[in-house]
Structure 1
């Protein structure tokens, strides 16, 4: 009987590990990898990367300068750069009407010996996604595809030669990160921790990158118990097992950020009670954004995740945004926060117009 129990536990553990490392639908491209090279597993995540040779028909291969090599691992050590042509595009096979998290990584590493700060445009199909203007950056967008193909394009604006190190697509569930219109451009994603540990795949099954976020006016809370991390957003255990409250019991807990006005944004705020409250304790607070009541009064449930999400996009006066958790008069404990994500709204009108034309054409030819 004991041996049977051990077998069952072992099987369940293996099954859990396999499910946790499921990469179904993932597209992980090491840009510049030789077409003769075999797919490989990245050392940090176990993600399987392949060459970009079949996705783009232009460009040359580069590698970060030797003095930068110790700072990076595969697959950021090499890149594909495009010294010829104004617009060079990756052509990807995707699943139509799918919500994708799309990441493009750019690590310059003085690969060309020119020691210039990159500056070129990144497009999603015919629409401007972002301008790459940093030596080391990741551009991220959440976008619903409208066909079975997708183009990611690098455009030379005459300032520097475009390049790219990694291109990654992760399918999400349809009920995640829903917007009234437009796509979501990453602003920040933080879990409330005074550590320096970044969390991503395989702990995050969608390969979202979570960065520690902390302030000296907060107190760290942690738990070693299992936290129900939610059905919709499936947050990592390492994210929801940490939280913070204000040092002063009557203070608000504030998160501030800036965006370019008049840009609209969506925020996703995640809570779980990590403390074992006494019978006479109450934790209750209201959520406000930019001084406007958003939700509450709210009391997080013990070891169970709740996510508060904007149903409509928000806007910040002058581009200065603030989220505040405000203790109610009834509460004996200060507010608590585990994690927060924020995205600006980016409209891709030409994609929608293209889809409309295709639909009209289908009607006329039916």
Structure 2
């Protein structure tokens, strides 16, 4: 609720956001992010609401509020959520889905199923155990005003979903080389060399609500730096938390290397990949020298 008993809405707090806590009993404002979450009542017509077992302790409890409830779909081969962003078609959106099994059905059997964006396969969802969760993101520029996120039953178990989010992005960022490539699946987003004790950062520091996971390496020197976000952000609007830290090698014998295996990124050799690096000068150069 807002001041004076006025009901807080998505438009009041996070313009353009669609934030769905699947299986939740009521709408609410998340105390950590300030994001207004809705129940999924107005987005899907099928399925059953459930709560994870109270004895479950998720391995990474950063999204615990979103992971406590879910909606499962024991009936039908395909069940879909319908999203209607206010910006409409031909705009770029980040869409993120969360899955936490939490042994909600008491069977100790984690399912495997497919996730689709319209007719396009987005991801295969597999949660390793009761305490684990899966998050998947996709960047999409729809050609219609309606977006369908669908869960498709395969050979193992009942599909379910814990939360679903849509965030408007600038149309100038994360562009592909071909208009036909309207789907970009995000494999990982890292905040290098952060000295923060938090394991991730997101909204409100990031106005697009991108989730940045902390990443460092043994042979890096980590440290906070004095940066001016206004002069370095550009269209990507990198969050202050990400810009204020950087890593450098101890010496020339230890170059900075980004290892996909170490970062636990599985690469599909049949796919095209886009890698976005953001660089910032961390040393003040002597007068007359340039970067």
Q: TM-score range by the shorter chain?
A: 0.7 to 0.9
SS in 1 for 2:94: strand
Superimposed CA distance per residue, residues 313-362 of structure 1 (whole angstroms, 9 cap, x where no aligned partner)? xxxxxxxxxxxxxxxxxxxxxxxxxxxxxxxxxxxxxxxxxxxxxxxxxx
User: Does the CA contact (< 8 Å) of 2:29 and 2:36 recur in 1?
Assistant: yes
* Pairs within 5 Å for 1:164-203: 164-181=161-178, 182=181, 183-195=183-195, 196-197=197-198, 198-203=200-205
User: Does the CA contact (< 8 Å) of 1:106 and 1:163 recur in 2?
Assistant: yes
User: Does the CA contact (< 8 Å) of 2:194 and 2:245 recur in 1?
Assistant: no
Superimposed CA distance per residue, residues 29-79 of structure 1 (whole angstroms, 9 cap, x where no aligned partner)? 111123xx2x21112211000011111111001111111268453222100
The normalised TM-score by structure 1 is 0.67
5+ long unaligned stretches in structure 2: 1-11, 261-265
Find the counterpart in structure 1 of residue 90 from structure 2.
97
Superimposed CA distance per residue, residues 281-306 of structure 1 (whole angstroms, 9 cap, x where no aligned partner)? 87xxxxxxxxxxxxxxxx3xxxxxxx
Matched, 1:137 2:143: no
Find the counterpart in structure 1 of residue 113 from structure 2.
120
1:90 positional shift: 0.6
The normalised TM-score by structure 2 is 0.84
Higher helix share: 1
Give the CA RMSD over aligned residues: 2.0
SS in 1 for 2:106: coil
SS in 2 for 1:188: coil
Find the counterpart in structure 2 of residue 205 from structure 1.
207
**In the aligned structure 1, how far is the partner of 2:232 from the partner of 2:153?**
43
* Pairs within 5 Å for 1:210-249: 210-227=212-229, 228-249=231-252
1:231 positional shift: 2.2
Find the counterpart in structure 2 of residue 261 from structure 1.
269
Regions of 4+ moved over 6 Å: none
1:187 positional shift: 1.1
5+ long unaligned stretches in structure 1: 1-20, 283-298, 300-366
Work out the number of aligned pairs and report it: 260
**In the aligned structure 2, how far is the partner of 1:123 from the partner of 1:276?**
48
Selected match of 1:65 from 53, 67, 74 = 53
User: Does the CA contact (< 8 Å) of 2:98 and 2:135 recur in 1?
Assistant: yes
User: Does the CA contact (< 8 Å) of 2:194 and 2:242 recur in 1?
Assistant: no
1:250 positional shift: 5.4
SS in 1 for 2:149: strand
Cα distance change, pair 93–102 in 1 and its aligned pair in 2 (3 A): same
Question: Which range moves more in the overlay, 176-185 or 137-146?
Answer: 176-185
Question: Which range moves more in the overlay, 82-91 or 243-252?
Answer: 243-252
1:252 positional shift: 2.7
User: Does the CA contact (< 8 Å) of 1:229 and 1:236 recur in 2?
Assistant: no
Superimposed CA distance per residue, residues 130-178 of structure 1 (whole angstroms, 9 cap, x where no aligned partner)? 1001240111000101100010000110301000011000010110100
Find the counterpart in structure 1 of residue 263 from structure 2.
none
